[in-house]
Amino acid sequence: VFSAGDFADHEQVVFVADEPSGLRAIIAIHDTTLGPALGGCRMYPYASEAEALRDVLRLSRGMTFKAAAANLDLGGGKAVIIGDPRTQKTPALLQAMGIAVERLGGRYITAEDVGTTVEDFGELHKKTKHVVGLPVELGGTGDPSPTTARGVYYGLLAAARHRWGEDQLAGKTVAVQGLGNVGWHLCELLHAAGAKLVVTDVDDKRVSRAVAAFGATSVPPEEIYGARADIFAPCAMGAILNDETLPLFRVEIVGGAANNQLALDHHGEALRARGILYAPDFVINAGGMIRVASEREGFDEALVDRNVKGIGDSLLAIFQRSESEGIQTNAAAMLLARERLSSAATHRL
Ligand code: NAI
């Protein structure tokens, strides 16, 4: 099922089993050149260990580039617990996972992810200190979503500057897909900045609230891609930039919080060919990660804000690189992240 290349660039992959609690998990540390490997711990009923392994290898690699692009002194890692979070999650299982994380001595730092909650991390935290994203009562920084939204907002300002010569969004129309934790906060920031909003969500109540709160126009979920707007901000699910949606777009900029927005790599090239400026997802949505990472050195709101504003600067460098080299923005972002990694590796020698 696997080829040698699947493991070629991982520093360490740990298989965890704890019979009394039924824990089966894999922790993948992809790269610690820039610092300890940070990444969420997912719980999912994978059909096989091979499927779980494939997921954790792919996700941990992605975290290395996300941290590098966000200028954080952190590496990339990820953990997966094999099991159904609705039926198999117990305090004993979570604590056994905490012990497994602790055994790595801080080389891997864990956080909440799909299938795990901040409350679960209270249990993990009983056995390891290498946890971030804890609730405020446990010494953490609480919900990262407003900070993620702020990063997306700064990223859109940078995109506006690159595309229209001015970093302001007053009078521009932004189509926001998804009014959840991040999408809602983003709407607040855009509305305060004088942008007009076109919104959609599968939850009608959220849509009505946005219409009332922001004077937004609403469209059914499938019509958001063709909405008449200047910017499309995907804040719901991934793979929304694909063969079906791209021909519908009338916007000039795409930038939002959703992970893995490009269905396939070549859709980044297709956006470029259509003259649409794409803010790579792993760069523009790093605000939450910047916030939780700051817990390690003592949370400092002003420093976090400076680093989150830095998302805009990183994007400007990416847009310029994309233009000067004639490559899609996603590829330019990867190049810059790889350069940061190799320069750090050289300095370490
Ligand atoms: P959320 O679950 O709070 O919000 C998602 C919203 O999208 C919900 O209101 C949901 O009803 C809506 N939605 C689902 N399917 C839809 C569809 N087909 N059309 C329109 N709306 C739909 O999630 P959250 O935390 O706001 O995150 C949004 C995205 O950003 C996710 O992809 C997440 O992985 C990503 N992200 C979130 C971060 C955070 O700090 N919360 C950090 C980095 C990425």
* Any atom of ligand 1 within 6 Å of the Cβ of 257: yes
Map residue 39 onto helix, strand or coil.
Answer: strand
What type of residue is 81?
I
* Any atom of ligand 1 within 6 Å of the Cβ of 294: no
Distance 88 CA to ligand 1 centre (A): 25
- Give the pLDDT score at 140: 87
* Any atom of ligand 1 within 6 Å of the Cβ of 288: yes
> Can you say whether the dihedral through the CA atoms of 277, 282, 288, 294 is positive or negative?
negative
User: CB–CB of 32/5 below 8 Å?
Assistant: no
- Give the pLDDT score at 253: 98
Computed over every residue of the chain, the mean pLDDT equals 95
> Can you say whether the dihedral through the CA atoms of 35, 36, 37, 38 is positive or negative?
negative
Distance 258 CA to ligand 1 centre (A): 6
Concerning whether 129 is annotated as a catalytic residue, the answer is no
* Any atom of ligand 1 within 6 Å of the Cβ of 36: no
Picking from 248, 277, 334, the residue whose alpha carbon sits closest to that of residue 61 is 334
Distance 182 CA to ligand 1 centre (A): 7
Cα–Cα distance, 154 to 143 (Å, whole number): 19
Map residue 326 onto helix, strand or coil.
Answer: coil
Question: How big is the chain by its Cα radius of gyration, in Å?
Answer: 20
Cα–Cα distance, 101 to 132 (Å, whole number): 12
- Give the pLDDT score at 134: 87
- Give the pLDDT score at 240: 97
* Any atom of ligand 1 within 6 Å of the Cβ of 237: yes
Tens of pLDDT along 279-308? Answer: 999 999 999 999 999 988 888 899 999 999
User: CB–CB of 315/287 below 8 Å?
Assistant: no
- Give the pLDDT score at 4: 55
Q: Which helix (H) or strand (E) holds 17?
A: strand 12-18
* Any atom of ligand 1 within 6 Å of the Cβ of 300: no
Going along the chain from its start, the domains and CATH numbers come out as 4-57+76-138 (3.40.50.10860), 145-340 (3.40.50.720)
Looking at ligand 1, which residue's alpha carbon is closest to its atom 12?
178
| Best of 181, 207, 284, 308 for a ligand 1 pocket test (most atoms within 8 Å of beta carbon) | 181
* Any atom of ligand 1 within 6 Å of the Cβ of 32: no
- Give the pLDDT score at 320: 98
Looking at ligand 1, which residue's alpha carbon is closest to its atom 32?
258
- Give the pLDDT score at 118: 83
Residue tagged active-site, from 66, 78, 89, 172: 78
Low-confidence ranges of the chain (pLDDT < 50): none
- Token pair of 230 as six digits: 């200047």
**3-state SS track over 213-279:** HHCCEECCHHHHHHCCCCEEEECCCCCCECCCCHHHCCCCEECCCCCCCECCCHHHHHHHHCCCEEC
Cα–Cα distance, 126 to 80 (Å, whole number): 19
Distance 201 CA to ligand 1 centre (A): 10
Cα–Cα distance, 317 to 159 (Å, whole number): 11
Cα–Cα distance, 107 to 9 (Å, whole number): 16
Cα–Cα distance, 198 to 232 (Å, whole number): 9
- Token pair of 238 as six digits: 């991934």
